[in-house]
Structure 1
Amino acid sequence: MVAVSAVGFVRTVLGDVAPGELGVCDAHDHLFLRSPQLPGQELEDASAARAELAAFRSVGGGGVVQWTPYGMGRRVADLPSLSRATGVHVVCATGLHQAAHYGRELLAGLRGRLAEVFVAELTEGVGPSGVRAGVIKVAGGFHGLDAHARWTMTAAAEAHRATGAPIAVHLELGTGALDVLDLLCGELGVEPHRVILGHLNRSPDLVVQRQAADAGAYLAFDGPSRANHATDWRMPDGVRALAEAGFGDRLLLGGDTVVAGARSVDGGPGMPYLLRRVGPRLAVELGEELVGRVFRENPARAFAVDWH
């Protein structure tokens, strides 16, 4: 497959930067996150978020893409100061997660204007902060797409066409990748290389992974160190198989820290684990050159905003 060149810019919370400036990138993570599905485990401490970013920077990190979408405690106004203080580029998301993460009133208030909200956050800024989002986050369901997923993905496709922003997709337990691509790319006309599939490694089906890569989408192998998701011990097999099949330019790596206890500064693996353990392990099996591309060149292309 021919690699897609990095065009346009990456929209960070401090402004637009050339894709090559993103540096070593954690392609899927969270500095702040709140959900009724995770009571008492919220990511809300700004001091801890700053310490986590600094820890990531200390092991060579240059950029983090926060996938926390609309209505889930993004704390967008805090992101610029954290990015400035640590020297780490931060990309903020708009978008909408599964319905279970929201109250009925919030969802009802978005009916008929969801794409408009996404576009406004990408172009004008999130609320009074003026910080503009750089990626659209949506979510599929377990082995399929419900009405909520179709609604949010339809709005995401409309916002993508208006802004050129990439679409990042939460795959529930790693399933439903082909259904997502059928909808976004088949029915809604989004080019596959503008779609980033998250959590595909949680369902370690090498056939589906290859089909998704062959379609042209980016595959984010994220959430390492979670034994129940088979992310660490099966990740090298999936990455190697895809690389050997010619899809090394489709791969991304992310930490996906979603609860406070998973931060490195709170005793968990956190963002630095990607560079301290995951990267070196993959380099032993796949070579440093490929792993370097996965951390640098691939996210520079995947998260570039191609403004129309």
Structure 2
Amino acid sequence: MTTPAVRTVLGDLDPAELGVTDAHDHLFLSSAKLPGQELDDPLAAAAELAAFRAAGGRAVIQWTPYGMGRRAAELPALSRASGVHLVAATGLHQAGHYERLPDLDTLAELFVRELTRGIGGGEAPRVGLIKVAGGYHGLDPHARRTMTAAAEAHHATGAPIAVHHEHGTAAPEVVELLCGRLAVPPSSVILGHLNRFPEPGIHQELAATGAYLAFDGPSRAHHATDWRLLDCLAALAGAGHGERLLLGGDTVVRSARAADGEGPGMPFLLTGLRPRLRRALGEEQTDLIFRQNPARAFAADWR
């Protein structure tokens, strides 16, 4: 049996060394749905990482999947220069984010190749995460196909699977498909954007499955993403699910960066949100969310 490790762009890492983690963010990203708002500047990415590190951050889990401007060749140098561990992703987003999709019949092979051999270019860093996406209150054929490929890649490699939920919806359907029909262990599944659907009953049902619940993208200017965030986290922790919770910044457009935009950017998790969590939930639960839970959620017994 292998020892669990977090697969970073600089190699496999002992989970205990991951440190304070932004569990969902982006240094580089481009989308057909967001023309002119690309994250594509390495200097700006370096500045954002430096600000995150100065605030006490030690790791960033990137959810930018295949075909969305990952600029993977830049990542090893950025990690070394900043002293921040970086995890890159393979996977596929909703079809609307792409001008051209890859061959859907060979998706699992693509995911496995990037997980085991790396992304082409530069130092060919390997990825440590599979990112897929559901739809609004349901799963269309594209989502089911990509999740099936993600499950095949998980079974071949052990990689964790992170899921975008449109406005926080369709998470029960995702769990039923991934963890039920496709037999992915819930502990290898991270359910994203649940702060956008602040329904405590559903959250507790999801946490009870053993999946990780990611609350990400706080303080968005264009919609409410954290108006009940602390209440949801407190309810889950109070119900005994404190070990299933993750937090991320999910910076997806240039204007949302702290270093060269309007913010709040990556540092806000630690400068703005973490003090509120300490007051509301206590130091022990806050440490679980930022350090211990990510160390378990993004580690895998790699095959």
Name the TM tier (shorter chain).
Answer: over 0.9
Higher helix share: 1
Count of residues paired in the alignment? 300
Shift of 1:229: 4.2
Deviation track 1:126-177 (CA, whole Å, cap 9, x = no partner) reads 1233210000000000000000000000000000000001000000000000
Deviates more, 1:72-81 or 1:220-229: 220-229
**Match of residue 148, structure 2, among 140, 151, 154:** 154
Q: In structure 2, what is the Cα distance between the partners aligned to 1:229 and 1:184?
A: 29
Q: In structure 2, what is the Cα distance between the partners aligned to 1:220 and 1:209?
A: 10
Q: In structure 2, what is the Cα distance between the partners aligned to 1:195 and 1:278?
A: 24
| 2:289 aligned with 1:294 | yes
Deviation track 1:287-308 (CA, whole Å, cap 9, x = no partner) reads 0111011100000000002224
Q: In structure 2, what is the Cα distance between the partners aligned to 1:283 and 1:271?
A: 18
Compute the TM-score of the two structures, normalised by the length of structure 1.
0.95
Deviation track 1:174-229 (CA, whole Å, cap 9, x = no partner) reads 00000000000010000111000010110111111111101111000100012654
Runs of 5+ in structure 2 lacking a partner? none
**Match of residue 283, structure 1, among 267, 278, 296:** 278
Q: In structure 2, what is the Cα distance between the partners aligned to 1:199 and 1:111?
A: 25
Shift of 1:111: 2.5
Residue identity opposite 2:234 in structure 1: R
The residue that corresponds to 2:93 in the other structure is 97
Deviation track 1:63-121 (CA, whole Å, cap 9, x = no partner) reads 00010000000000000000000000000000000000112xx32x4132100000000
| 2:167 aligned with 1:177 | no
Q: Is the 8 A contact 2:72 2:121 kept in 1?
A: no
**Match of residue 139, structure 1, among 133, 136, 145:** 133
Give the superposed CA RMSD: 1.2
Q: In structure 1, what is the Cα distance between the partners aligned to 2:226 and 2:150?
A: 31
Q: In structure 1, what is the Cα distance between the partners aligned to 2:43 and 2:121?
A: 22
| 2:66 aligned with 1:55 | no
The sequence identity of aligned pairs, in percent, is: 67
Q: In structure 1, what is the Cα distance between the partners aligned to 2:194 and 2:227?
A: 14
Q: Is the 8 A contact 2:136 2:167 kept in 1?
A: yes
Deviation track 1:245-276 (CA, whole Å, cap 9, x = no partner) reads 00000000000000001000123110000000
Runs of 5+ in structure 1 lacking a partner? 1-6
Quick one: structure 1 residues 237 and 228, their matched pair in 2 at CA, closer, same or farther if it must change by over 3 Å?
farther
The residue that corresponds to 2:71 in the other structure is 75
| 2:116 aligned with 1:120 | no
